[in-house]
């Protein structure tokens, strides 16, 4: 049987193993005359390479774009739809892992986990001192979730187990979630003003780009901690730096940045009240394996002209 050619950016061995022998994986090669562009019937986007109409127009045999991950802001879905190329993603399977890391960043930032780790390894740690690294209590405080989708709801469940009061803001109010979860809808500015922790769990869209900037930081409590698990461009990084540096807010935990990664000399990286992780939201063994399986299921469907199990559709 001839193997089906697919173009992919570099993927780990497990992904190749799960793909099996039925596929020939071609390199992500955008040079003029690229055999990958000429031959590929499918695209796998593993680490967010950009896909737009200009690329699709160079791929005469393409039938499907299958994204490893739920966020597809790096793929121009309307461009793909205009060319009748379905785009698949992997919703649902990563909600728990991403919510877990949201809580991890809340706790790490509030309770000095990273600074404490460095200190505990250093020669300065000579005796137990109850007066150092006094953090902010998490239990019993107020969490504001921006974006009460699948991941946001999982964050709410975890926060409720920490006896937190949970506020949320979402494009559309979700009364079912309010009943199921005991979360309270508040206007955006009220959420910013009332929350001790603010978790960004929304997708990156035109509306959420630059959602948190100077005026929004000005509404937050001085003791507030912002956690960004969404996408870097949701937060204006210059304003975030100013807010952290000036004490406008107490801290931030960010899993995503703009650009990603930040230049090594970016001022944010010099701040002690910032905890940063390298886009690890869904990075647990079980979740990553399931993401690969779903990516392959979408790919299999697309290359054989079947409906995708998880197809992204642009809002009408
Ligand atoms: C997602 O699923 O969107 C994660 O950010 C990984 O791509």
Residues 148 and 237 in one domain: yes
Nearest C-alpha to atom 7 of ligand 1 is from which residue? 69
Nearest C-alpha to atom 3 of ligand 1 is from which residue? 71
pLDDT in tens, the chain (316 residues): 789 999 999 999 999 999 999 999 999 999 999 999 999 999 999 999 999 999 999 999 999 999 999 999 999 999 999 999 999 999 999 999 999 999 999 999 999 999 999 999 999 999 999 999 999 999 999 999 999 999 999 999 999 999 999 999 999 999 999 999 999 999 999 999 999 999 999 999 999 999 999 999 999 999 999 999 999 999 999 999 999 999 999 999 999 999 999 999 999 999 999 999 999 999 999 999 999 999 999 999 999 999 999 999 987 6
Residues 116 and 8 in one domain: no
Residues 25 and 154 in one domain: no
Residues 255 and 295 in one domain: no
Residues 300 and 194 in one domain: no
Residues 184 and 230 in one domain: yes
DSSP H or E segment with residue 184: strand 184-185
Residues 138 and 255 in one domain: yes
Strand partners, 65: 43, 87
Determine the Cα–Cα distance for residues 114 and 295; give it in Å rounded to an integer.
34
Residues 128 and 246 in one domain: yes
Name the maximum alpha-carbon separation found in the chain: 69
- Ligand 1 environment, Cβ below 6 A: 69-71, 94, 281-282
Is it true that the peptide bond before 137 is cis, omega within 30 degrees of 0?
no
Catalytic residue among 81, 178, 260, 297: 260
Residues 88 and 105 in one domain: no
Report field, pTM of the whole predicted structure over 0.75: yes
Catalytic residue at 3?
no
Q: What is the CATH number of the domain that holds 214?
A: 3.40.50.720
Range of the domain at 87: 4-92+285-312
- Whether the CA torsion 20, 91, 61, 13 is positive or negative: it is negative
Residues 84 and 207 in one domain: no
Show the tokens assigned to 186: 């508040």
Catalytic residue at 279?
yes
For ligand 1, the distance from its centroid to the CA atom of residue 65, given in whole angstroms, is 15
Show the tokens assigned to 306: 């079947």
Residue positions counted in the chain: 316
CA distances from 156 to 123, 147, 216 (A): 40, 11, 22
For ligand 1, the distance from its centroid to the CA atom of residue 70, given in whole angstroms, is 5
Catalytic residue at 260?
yes
Residues 140 and 270 in one domain: yes
Q: How many domains does the chain have?
A: 2
In ligand 1, the atom with minimum distance to the C-alpha of 256 is 5
For ligand 1, the distance from its centroid to the CA atom of residue 14, given in whole angstroms, is 18
Nearest C-alpha to atom 2 of ligand 1 is from which residue? 69
In ligand 1, the atom with minimum distance to the C-alpha of 67 is 7
Residues 177 and 271 in one domain: yes
In ligand 1, the atom with minimum distance to the C-alpha of 231 is 5
CB distance 189 to 137 below 8 Å: no
CA distances from 316 to 79, 232, 313 (A): 14, 25, 8
């Amino acid at each position: 049987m001839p193997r089906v050619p697919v173009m992919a950016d570099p993927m780990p061995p497990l992904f190749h193993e799960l793909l099996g022998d039925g596929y020939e994986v071609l390199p992500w090669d955008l040079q003029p005359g690229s055999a990958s562009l000429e031959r590929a019937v499918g695209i796998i986007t593993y680490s967010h390479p950009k896909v737009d109409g200009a690329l699709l127009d160079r791929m005469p045999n393409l039938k499907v774009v299958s994204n490893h991950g739920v966020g597809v802001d790096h793929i121009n879905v309307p461009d793909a739809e205009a060319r009748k190329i379905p785009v698949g993603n992997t919703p649902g399977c990563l909600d728990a892992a991403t919510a877990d890391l949201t809580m991890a960043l809340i706790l790490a930032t509030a309770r000095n986990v990273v600074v404490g780790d460095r200190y505990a390894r250093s020669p300065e740690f000579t005796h137990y001192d109850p007066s150092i690294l006094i953090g902010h209590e998490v239990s019993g405080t107020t969490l504001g979730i921006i974006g009460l989708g699948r991941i946001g709801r999982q964050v709410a469940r975890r926060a409720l187990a920490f006896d937190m009061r949970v506020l949320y803001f979402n494009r559309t109010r979700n009364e079912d979630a309010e009943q199921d979860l005991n979360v309270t809808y508040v206007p955006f500015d009220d959420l910013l003003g009332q929350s001790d922790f603010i978790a960004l769990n929304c997708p990156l869209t035109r509306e959420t780009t630059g959602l948190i900037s100077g005026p929004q930081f000005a509404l937050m409590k001085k003791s507030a901690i912002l956690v960004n698990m969404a996408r870097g461009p949701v937060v204006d990084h210059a304003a975030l730096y100013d807010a952290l540096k000036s004490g406008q807010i107490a801290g931030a935990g960010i899993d995503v940045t703009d650009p990603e990664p930040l230049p090594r000399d970016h001022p944010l990286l010099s701040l002690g009240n910032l905890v940063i992780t390298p886009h690890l939201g869904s990075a647990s063994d079980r979740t990553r394996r399931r993401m690969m399986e779903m990516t392959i299921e979408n790919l299999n469907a697309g290359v054989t002209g079947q409906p995708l199990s998880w197809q992204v559709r642009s809002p009408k």
